[in-house]
Structure 1
């Protein structure tokens, strides 16, 4: 199969693209390379790998990128509450208008797989979020992803995956994700302050996210034209539970603050019955993911140019 992966050099893409290539697919990546392309270096050994450096909001670039592909996996986005708050106009241009540009030039026969997010649920009164739970995003990130998801599903021959909070080691690492951040602080700083310890999130490992796209491609007729939460109920944890899981692997000082709060106020549990009924199960639990994050944190070094020690 010939597959276009937008944002393929990012956190999820740099995990997914090598998997697709190993399965024998031809993969074209469209990415602005805002954070570099080092995560895709191992892909260069495959003749079926192609990179187009460009913006999904540029019509000419998108026309070239989608030409001749059977499926489009749309990952490109400004991801997360802080990044969208920092550059709101870029977030709107990328997450909403970039998706609109892709759909405008895409041929209906091309399968369209969209990476949405559980952030679109916001805070909900019934606490257990299912695919028919009303979308009430509380951040610009959630709003842009919800708007794009609506466009994708209206276009047809598509799916939207509402992913749990991602975590785990990737070729293009991110340390802003809660389990990744908690683990890095524990390893490097030997201390962690946690606000709103009882707030609950649901998590999914980045490799399971990548596997879910491959799952859909292999069963397209059975899953298309629908929305799915992607994760597992066993991965619903409070922030305190995540911090204490890290403590099982790292000896560090943990403090739960009574004053202060996170800007992102999501607090919910999610049901994954729908995608499980189709045959998809996640494979990596929190303990396994934290263990690998500890090993990775010991490899990552940041140097402060203003320090003399």
Structure 2
């Protein structure tokens, strides 16, 4: 039987955590979530019946609370963050204090024995070289504040040695705490409801990974920690290094009436453009289970139930 851990998940009611926490509980781990529930999300409602689940409604920047929570866990999964270039640009102070300062403060209160599994981002690669794959040795040239802070935190994380960094591709798929603003999720939403999307810098490429495969790679690393520790790993679909236009063409296979329009003017605020190698994580025995097409099908089903209609009667 696999070892059981006391796991602290910060921001555990968010997009990644809303899938990950129930899976960790199902595997027999004790899970404590700290989250400030800033989006009024109810994504962990069904976990409350599990006696191994504990939830704390508080801010990860509160050192007194964090020191106490950290002292009781074997593994920390820091998910709490302001995520994405637009949100981080809008709240630079929050980005710095939550995404960096709170994480570094938490590291300070951890022993060398305690483990950290942390999502970073492969947006740290910024703009890659044409037709050249970014692997874990490629230079990090983050463009957005979000990317810059994540790269800074990864450096401190890997100095701990008892830690693993996951450089996640752009995540997609349905989750109890849904995010429609992520690229695949956004384009699918527009395909379902608008039947069109305007593309800025449509040739920009990036890599993609399903939200459930993010949970799977974290669970994989719990079971293989000793052989994986102290390293960064790209986590994405090796057959999905696609430009925004190519992504739209994949969606068109499922929704033929969807029309992507390439804009002659305008810029993408998130200026990343690169292709990624996932050979290193695959070398540990991990392979994604959810393809891009599976995710698109899932999102189309999900949007049958979900629509942003807060300020409209239709």
* TM-score normalised to structure 2 length: 0.95
Q: CA deviation at 1:37?
A: 3.6
Matches within 5 A, 1:21-170: 21-125=25-129, 127-170=132-175
Report the Cα offset of residue 254 of structure 1.
Answer: 2.6
* 2:219 aligned partner: 214
SS in 2 for 1:233: coil
* 8 Å Cα contact 1:56-1:101 kept in structure 2: no
Q: Which residue of 1 aligns with 2:283?
A: 277
CA distance in 1, matches of 2:40, 2:228: 33
SS in 1 for 2:105: helix
Q: Is it true that 1:9 corresponds to 2:9 in the alignment?
A: no
TM-aligned CA deviation for residue 308 of structure 1: 6.1
SS at match of 2:48: helix
Q: 1 CA distance for matches of 2:279 and 2:309?
A: 45
Q: What is the CA–CA distance in structure 1 between the aligned matches of 2:99 and 2:12, rounded to whole Å?
A: 15
Q: Distance in 1 between matches of 2:304 and 2:196?
A: 15
Which residue number corresponds to residue 260 of structure 2?
Answer: 254
* C-alpha contact 2:118 2:164 (8 A) present in aligned 1: yes
Structure 1 residue runs of 5 or longer lacking an equivalent are: none
Q: Distance in 2 between matches of 1:9 and 1:65?
A: 17
Structure 2 unaligned spans of 5+: none
Partners of 1:136 and 1:192 in 2: CA distance: 29
Q: CA deviation at 1:252?
A: 2.6
CA-CA distance at 1:64 after TM superposition: 2.0
Of 253, 258, 269, which aligns to 1:263? 269
Cα distance between partner residues in 2 of 1:238 and 1:212: 24
Residue 258 of structure 1, CA deviation: 2.2
Alpha-carbon contact 1:31-1:76 (below 8 Å) kept = yes
Q: Distance in 2 between matches of 1:211 and 1:232?
A: 13
Instruction: Provide the rounded CA distance (Å) in 1 between the counterparts of 2:313 and 2:39.
Output: 27
Could you tell me how far 1:284 is from its partner in structure 2? 0.7
SS in 2 for 1:45: coil
Residues 52, 65 of structure 1: 8 Å contact kept = no
Deviation at 1:76, TM superposition (A): 1.1
SS at match of 1:62: helix
**Following TM superposition, by how much is the alpha carbon of 1:60 offset from its aligned partner in structure 2, in angstroms?**
0.7
Partner of 1:296: 302
- Taking structure 1 as the reference length, the TM-score comes to 0.96
Q: Does the residue aligned with 2:77 lie in a helix, a strand or coil?
A: strand
1:175 counterpart residue number:
180
User: What does the per-residue CA deviation read over 1:161-182, in whole Å, with 9 as the maximum and x for residues that have no partner?
Assistant: 1000111111100011111000
Q: How many corresponding residue pairs?
A: 308
Q: Secondary structure at the match of 2:56?
A: strand
State the distance in 1 between where 2:202 and 2:30 align.
45
Contact 1:129–1:270 (Cα < 8 Å) also in 2: yes
8 Å CA contact 1:9–1:36 kept in 2: the answer is no
Partners of 1:73 and 1:112 within 8 A in 2:
yes
Do the aligned partners of 1:166 and 1:177 also contact (CA within 8 Å) in 2?
yes
- Aligned pair in 2 of structure 1 residues 183, 111: CA closer, same or farther (>3 Å)? same
The CA deviation at 1:42 is 1.3
**Aligned-partner SS, 1:38:** coil
